[in-house]
Amino acid sequence: MTRFGRVHLVGAGPGDPELLTLKAHRLISRAAVIVHDRLVSAEILDLAPEGAELIPVGKAPKRHPVPQEAINRLLVELATSGRSVVRLKGGDPFIFGRGAEEAAALHAAGVPVEIVPGITAAQGAAAASGVPLTHRGLATGLRLVTGHCRADAPLDLDWAGLADPETTLVVYMGAASIGEIAGRLIAHGLAPETPVLAVASATTAQERRLTSDLAGIAGAAGAAGLSGPVLFIIGRVVGLRGCGAGALIARLAAGGAGAAAGALRV
List the catalytic residue out of 89, 92, 164, 173.
173
Extended strands (E) in 78-221: 85-89, 113-116, 141-146, 167-172, 195-200, 208-213
Please say if 156 is a catalytic residue. no
Q: Quick count: other Cβ atoms within 10 Å of Cβ 209? A: 17
Cα(205)–Cα(131) distance, integer angstroms:
19
- The percent helix, strand, coil of the chain (3-state, each to 5) is 35, 20, 40
Please say if 62 is a catalytic residue. no
What is the β-pairing status of strands 167-172 and 141-146? parallel
Cα(69)–Cα(153) distance, integer angstroms:
19
Own/partner pairs, 222-226, CB within 8 angstroms, 24+ separation: 224/198, 226/175, 226/198, 226/200
Please say if 46 is a catalytic residue. no
What is the β-pairing status of strands 230-234 and 195-200? antiparallel
List the catalytic residue out of 16, 37, 92, 164.
37
Cα(173)–Cα(12) distance, integer angstroms:
17
End-to-end CA gap in the chain: 62
Residues annotated as part of the active site: 37, 59, 173
